[in-house]
Amino acid sequence: MSDDQQHQSGAPWRNFYGRIHGKTLNQAQKDYLEEDLPKLAPGPVTWEENPDREKLDLTARFGGKPVWLEVGFGAGEHLIHMAQSYPGVAIIGCEPYVNGVASCLGHIRRVGGLDNVAIHAGDARDLFDVLPDESLDKAFLNYPDPWPKARHHRRRFVTAEHLEPLYRALKPGAEFRVATDIPDYVRQTMEEVPRAGFEWLGESAEDWRKPWSDWFSTRYEKKAIREGRTPHYMTFRKN
């Protein structure tokens, strides 16, 4: 979207950091994006589709199922695992990286029969604009972009710009899970997430070394372990 288009649509200026496109997509991946992505949308999210920023009707979209959100689902491994494990729950996946979205769509097509997944291929902040307050039952942030340089830490998801709207969208008592292999991301998470109003459910550092009972180890985690980095699993609750 150009600056002029942003101005015409009324969208606020939002810097986006990170890759949107990777290597050239093959024809099958292009087909997934063209044919499957529109059917899996959670509703009108983009500023072009929803310039008045009307809230999504999640009850109509998902038939009254509890709704979970995964921010930055990568290739969709954890997202699809959770959708298969909890068919009575609807899961919205948010991912701006087109190649990852295409990979996830291909996986969904191959698995078949998943009617409880929705995909927003874009910035999580645009989705937060239109999520009703207290509409989500759980949220996941798995191996987010670490932005390791100190001057880039403000680009991380665990900042007020993202955490405050996430807090508003979660129901009281809802769980927010964060997994990362970057020690400084752990530090910032433990500082910023409670500051946004969440309560950490651990009692000691040992608690963040244990994965959740329904955890699915993704390719990113396996790579981290191969390279000698330690996964951390942090669980928070909205009070």
pLDDT by residue (tens digit) across 8-33?
566 776 665 555 666 788 899 999 99
CA dihedral 33, 91, 180, 46 (to 10 degrees): 50
For residue 159, being part of any structural domain is answered with no
| Relative orientation angle of helices 98-111 and 77-85, to the nearest 10 degrees | 30
Catalytic residue among 31, 137, 145, 207: 145
Q: In the chain, at which residue ranges do the beta strands (DSSP E only) sit?
A: 67-71, 90-94, 117-120, 136-142, 170-180, 198-200, 232-238
Does residue 235 carry a pLDDT above 80?
yes
Helices (H) and strands (E) in the chain, counts: 9, 7
Are residues 49 and 61 located together in one domain of the fold? yes
Nearest to 16 by CA among 91, 122, 110: 122
Q: What does pTM read for this prediction?
A: 0.91
Query: pLDDT digits over 165-202, tens only?
Result: 999 999 999 999 999 999 999 999 999 999 999 999 99
Contact (CB, 8 A) for 92 and 120: yes
Q: Annotated catalytic, 145? A: yes
119/175 same-domain check: no
Residue at which a domain ends, from 66, 100, 129: 129
Asked if residue 181 and residue 125 are part of one domain, the reply reads no
Residue 106 falls inside a structural domain: yes
Q: Is residue 153 part of a domain?
A: no
Domain that holds residue 86: 15-129
Our count of domains for the chain comes to 2
